[in-house]
A and B are shown apart, each in its own frame.
Chain A
């Protein structure tokens, strides 16, 4: 595959290119085109609207929090899965794919069942303690984190498996503690896996819609995130505003991936 010469190879390239253009590049390009149909007016209108500005800020805060959570726990879980053998390890491994396979809207409903303020399993107790989860920022963070959970892990696990344990053992025999070994040896070895996982998580977190829609309550100026603004504007026939907001979201996500592919070394030293 791919090594053949002649017309077959060109046909394969044409099919792949057409597929990607029709499915990804062209639609995204049209979003950009609609955004700039009236020059910069649409974008300016969006940024000047205090509710939209609040939604954008909320989205960024939520995305950063969930990326931090997913990075810390993701690296920890990856180490657990790769470096230790324990009963239930395979089950845990399988469970980690659930957030990718279950529809986000199911995730949202499930979170309401657990953390719902009135009838949730755990929610009333938290509410009595003064912490409202559902229909508030914590719920949005929770839902976003849940949905993006596997991304860091799936990037880090193969790298950890590849580097093996000998470098870590060598560090220990040279006097390094577990913490020093992790900081000086393991972390530098997996840093590109972590970086890629962080970028994917960030892009995914910025764009999460279904789960957030259920748990946020969609309160204007409070718990409405950028993706919810897009939907709201689109349904209210403010298509220009919808496209402009969508454009901003896509821009940040694409920028993340472009930046990483530029700074990532072409050939990682092995």
Chain B
């Protein structure tokens, strides 16, 4: 294990950011810390980096107890959401910063910086100031700067959060490819479940200062540990006392299936290739999604009597009886 977090707690005044959190992050993998804003994931990342001090607990990095070490001695590379570019230094000097601090020979610095600039495709921008780069380019520069000192672990705090949707998508694909090339243990924080599912080898779901579940994207998606994880990873609907994903709800015409729940189609909405069918079962409004082809084959419309049931083998989670508020996975991150 590359990063061992054991029993870490952190408070800011009355606010409990983390409570007795223990996580093991494997070497050489790309791990996502996923959760809603204010859930404590950024705090955990900053504690691993040494930018924040935990009230209790220990942090180990590559077998070394780092709990009391200052950030500069931890051997971590850190990438900030808002780039933290050194505004008065050129792109080249930004990337060279860590090497200059370490007083490496000039020739070595030049060679290494050239390599890194090529890696992040910024060779032609070496002599520009950060203000002359786009957001995506600045973030790639920040990444090269963090990689320059050959960190044991690379930590990224919402690295694509300040970028527009298109650049964000490009950059996360690029991060995945970069990681396959460089293989440094990488942890990134995100509140975007799609980003985590697409990029990460391993996902740690954090909410309310606690770890909800740790697993691969498949494990999380196919067997969510609780209703929070299920809700956070995508849209859900309720059928009886179970939470289920709308595309795992099967709709059939007629009410003769004894294992299914009978109801009437209350609403039909088409969004591109996807059709959302809302079925009223009397006490519940169940949402089913299907492709347009499936919908046409089914041949239902508002008012049709249908029966709905969960597709066999689909992941379901019992609804928590106290009716805790539904938390959507689409919250806007507020820093």
Contacts and interface: CB of A to CB of B under 8 A. Distances in A.
B82 interface: yes
A180 interface: yes
A195 to B, nearest CB: 14
A167 B84 contact: yes
Contacts of A171: 86, 97
Contact of A172 (B71, B87, B102, B146): B71
Q: Which of B80, B129, B148 has the most CB of A within 10 A?
A: B80
A177 B72 contact: yes
30 contacts: A166-B82, A166-B84, A167-B86, A169-B78, A170-B78, A170-B80, A170-B84, A170-B86, A171-B86, A172-B70, A172-B72, A173-B50, A173-B71, A173-B74, A173-B77, A173-B78, A174-B72, A174-B77, A174-B98, A175-B72, A175-B73, A175-B101, A175-B102, A176-B101, A177-B72, A185-B86, A189-B88, A269-B88, A269-B129, A270-B131
Interface in A161-188: 166-167, 169-177, 180, 184-185, 188
Given A173-B76, A175-B149, A188 B101 contact: no
B129 A173 contact: no
A166 B130 CA distance: 15
A174 B101 contact: yes
Contacts of A172: 51, 70-72
Interface of A: 166-167, 169-177, 180, 184-185, 188-189, 269-270
B14 to A, nearest CB: 16
Given A169-B51, A174-B101, A174-B145, A188 B88 contact: yes
Contacts of B72: 172-177
A173 B84 CA distance: 12
A174 B101 CA distance: 8
Interface string B57-86: 000000000000011111011101010111
A179 to B, nearest CB: 11
B84 A169 contact: yes
Contacts of B77: 173-174
Q: Which 3 A-B pairs have the closest CB atoms?
A: A174-B98, A166-B84, A170-B84
B328 to A, nearest CB: 29
Given A169-B78, A175-B149, 7 more contacts: A169-B80, A172-B70, A173-B76, A173-B77, A174-B98, A174-B146, A177-B72
Interface of B: 49-51, 70-74, 76-78, 80, 82, 84-88, 97-98, 101-102, 129, 131, 142, 145-146, 148-149
Contacts of A270: 87, 131
Interface SS, A side: helix
A14 B71 CA distance: 57
Contacts of B142: 170
A185 B142 CA distance: 15
B119 to A, nearest CB: 17
A156 to B, nearest CB: 16
A167 B94 CA distance: 11
A70 B72 CA distance: 31
A264 to B, nearest CB: 14
Nearest to B85: A167
A174 B131 contact: no
Contact of A269 (B51, B78, B87, B98): B87
Contacts of A173: 49-51, 71-72, 74, 76-78, 146
Nearest to A176: B101
B70 A175 contact: no
Nearest to B73: A175
Contacts of B80: 166, 169-170
A173 B155 CA distance: 10
Contacts of B88: 188-189, 269
A270 B97 CA distance: 19
B157 to A, nearest CB: 10
Contact of B97 (A174, A177, A188, A189): A174
B15 to A, nearest CB: 15
B71 A269 contact: no
- Greatest chain A CB density within 10 A among B50, B88, B145, B148 is at B88
Nearest to A169: B51
A189 B86 CA distance: 9
A193 to B, nearest CB: 13
Contacts of A177: 72
B61 to A, nearest CB: 13
Nearest to B50: A173
Nearest to B151: A173
Given A189-B87, A269-B131, A270-B131, A175 B98 contact: yes
A85 to B, nearest CB: 11
Contacts of B145: 170, 174
Contacts of A176: 72, 97, 101
Nearest to A163: B87
A155 to B, nearest CB: 18
A171 B73 CA distance: 12
B100 to A, nearest CB: 8
A175 B49 CA distance: 12
B101 A180 contact: yes
B323 to A, nearest CB: 40
A262 B102 CA distance: 37
Contacts of A188: 88
B129 A169 contact: no
